[in-house]
Structure 1
Amino acid sequence: MTTDVADARTAWMEPGAFEVAPGVHRIPLPLPNDGLRAVNVYAVRDGDGLVLIDSGWALAEARQQLERALDQLGHGFEDVHRFLVTHLHRDHYTLGVTLRRTFGTRISLGAGEQPSMAAILAGRVEGQYRDLVRWGAGELVEPLRQARSGDREGVDGYEPPDDWIPGAVDVPLAERILRAVPTPGHTNGHLVFLDPEAELLFAGDHVLPHITPSIGFELARAGSPLSDYLESLRLVRSYPDMRLLPAHGPVTASAHARVDELLAHHERRLDLTCAAVGETASTALEVAGRIGWTRHNRKLADMDLFNKFLAVGETAAHLDVLVRLGRLRSSTVDGVVRYA
């Protein structure tokens, strides 16, 4: 990658408030990891205040950066009328919870996130460990359990929203009407917000310009999250084309163009995953170890614990779609799902 390309890939992370359409500003906020290093929050003018689409991670640095960006727009936290949150991952949800404790700001979240929210608040993570065993990755359970020990943020950073958005509904603001559209896959309750008149798609993690979102990373995992995701992509593709306003990455001109790329990517991954199944690779863990990851084609063995977990879960999602398509068959032996 040349320096110019590298700069283009990271320029969107620079702090500030950047107008992307009349009355709409993109505000990048920092994240505490080397993978996704920033998340976009979108400030939408709403009368004498703002509605924010997503809120960021509850980090002191992110709060300060958001405060400076709002000040740049002539506003403060007290002027934020509502957070419309695309999904409950902490980089989108938890700063909103922190600010609500002080300013009473209303938080809205998709109703499909209710099972995962309940699991988070109850500290129920055993379902993910059972999934790892089913995927033939029981060896990752104890390291993951140890890595999570003493981490209270997963519970303390969360509270229920003020209201659950029940499905595809209009969200009227002072100067525009947003359309909330359920797009399960990345999480079961993921929403995108459409502004058809301004031709804007606030895409959350559903459609990202440079990367593919993880599939089904949640405590209450859907039965076939990849099937849900592909269907959600086709749903977004059925709307007129709009500018893509993603949660991670720069704004781009065409949501349709990126949706087409994502659909083609998963077709290739399905073929690659199917070809990797064989006598020495019959579990999700074994198959994940035979295919490359990220645009650098990294090996599973070289990845950190968390990304191994994501990779094995995504492999399982692809394997299950291949079974649904009749290209593979599956059987469960001693609690482990095997594919052939």
Structure 2
Amino acid sequence: MTSTAHAISPDSGTHWTEPGAWAVAPGVHRIPLPLPMDGLRAVNVYVLETDDGLTLIDGGWAVEASRTQLEQSLKEIDRHVGDIRSFLVTHVHRDHYTQAVTIRREVGSHVSLGLGDKATLDLIHDRDRTGPDPHVALLERAGAPDIARAWGEFTRAHTPDLSQWDYPDTWLEGDVGLQVGGRALDAVHTPGHTRGHYVFADRDASLLFAGDHVLPTITPSIGFEPAVAAQPLGDFMASLTRVRGLPDLTLLPAHGPVAPSSHARVDELLAHHEDRLALCLEAVGGGALTSYDVAGVLSWTRHERTLASLDVFNSALATLETRAHLELLVARGGLAHAEQDGVVVYRRTIGT
């Protein structure tokens, strides 16, 4: 798959992370905001203009560099932060949610978020939790005790700023129609990347504000959230199929360039995960027992790196995404799983 590091966006004619307020359609601008300490480099926030002010789809990460860039980019269209009336946040991850919360505190904007992400916010706010981060137990059960230990040490050293994680004003539940000025949006629940993820479809303008659900050059992480779903990959692939059932729309992703066809990219993502499922099945047949074992057989990123070459964060992502693939294979009947000394092990079923 093509790297986001070399992607030109057709609205700007330059690298998709280039700062600015880039017109993608009448009354709609794409504003890339920086992501410090993040390999993705930027998140696209989309500005929808109305007679009453601005609605932003996603808010960015609440860090000074992002806030400064948002202010500068809004000036390019003769707007400012005080014009923001509402945020439609695709999901609860910090690069999408936290700046919406901090701006709301200043200017009174209204923030909406998918109800499925409430469980994650509840865990963040549960200060009385005495146990480790939920990912620690998942990684231990996945057969990755060293990664689990390193992840636990990292999370103990980084306490979240709860002022950036306040609850939204409105929870989105199910599929709903929204009116943003004169623009009708279909808010479509697309769990997988997170349990509460939403995309927003503007059928009249042929636009899909896709968040992290459909990314043009990379695949979103699956199964990596504190309140993990039982079948995150199954949810994700089902959500992709639902988006495939919408009209073919211009893809407006959270990371990467604007792309011409939501259908084409959904088809690629579904094919990619079917390929990974086949590789996981093969790895178990070859003797890999745990999610960590299977992840070690697979290659990662467009550079086809080994699991051992990844840092702690990305090796945890890889291990838990592999777990999501293996659990979907169990649900499909291709694998069986059992627990041995607190670790989940997998075997192929007869006939697979």
Q: TM-score, normalised by structure 2?
A: 0.93
* Cα distance in 1 between the residues matched to 2:325 and 2:223: 11
* Cα distance in 2 between the residues matched to 1:320 and 1:232: 17
Identical-residue share of aligned pairs (%): 53
* Cα distance in 1 between the residues matched to 2:334 and 2:280: 11
Over 4 Å off, 4+ runs: none
AA matched with 1:72:
E
CA distance 1:156–1:280, change in 2 (3 Å): farther
1:104 deviates by: 1.4
Q: TM-score, normalised by structure 1?
A: 0.96
Match of 2:80 in 1: 76
Match of 1:180 in 2: 187
AA matched with 2:149:
E
> Is the counterpart of residue 170 in structure 1 residue 174 in structure 2?
no
The 3-state SS of whatever aligns with 1:55 is coil
* Cα distance in 1 between the residues matched to 2:225 and 2:280: 22
> Is the counterpart of residue 109 in structure 1 residue 113 in structure 2?
yes
> Is the counterpart of residue 317 in structure 1 residue 324 in structure 2?
yes
AA matched with 2:309:
D
CA distance 1:233–1:2, change in 2 (3 Å): closer
Unaligned segments of structure 2, at least 5 residues: 348-352
CA distance 1:292–1:196, change in 2 (3 Å): same
CA distance 1:78–1:335, change in 2 (3 Å): same
> Is the counterpart of residue 133 in structure 1 residue 140 in structure 2?
yes
Residues 240, 266 of structure 2: 8 Å contact kept: yes
Residues 193, 212 of structure 2: 8 Å contact kept: yes
The 3-state SS of whatever aligns with 1:212 is coil
2:96 to 92, 96, 99: 92
Unaligned segments of structure 1, at least 5 residues: none
* Cα distance in 1 between the residues matched to 2:250 and 2:331: 33
Residues 208, 247 of structure 1: 8 Å contact kept: yes
> Is the counterpart of residue 152 in structure 1 residue 159 in structure 2?
yes
Residues 85, 108 of structure 2: 8 Å contact kept: no
- Superposed counterparts of 1:205-216, under 5 Å: 205-216=212-223
- Superposed counterparts of 1:1-340, under 5 Å: 6=6, 8=8, 11-123=15-127, 126-153=133-160, 155-278=162-285, 280-340=287-347
1:280 deviates by: 4.3
* Cα distance in 2 between the residues matched to 1:320 and 1:2: 28
1:88 deviates by: 0.2
The 3-state SS of whatever aligns with 2:62 is coil
The one-character-per-residue Cα deviations of 1:173-198 (angstroms, maximum 9, x if unpaired) are 11111111000000000000010111
What root-mean-square deviation, in Å, do the aligned CA atoms of Structure 1 and Structure 2 show? Answer: 1.8
1:156 deviates by: 4.1
Q: How many residues align?
A: 339
* Cα distance in 2 between the residues matched to 1:332 and 1:305: 25
1:126 deviates by: 3.3
Match of 2:350 in 1: none
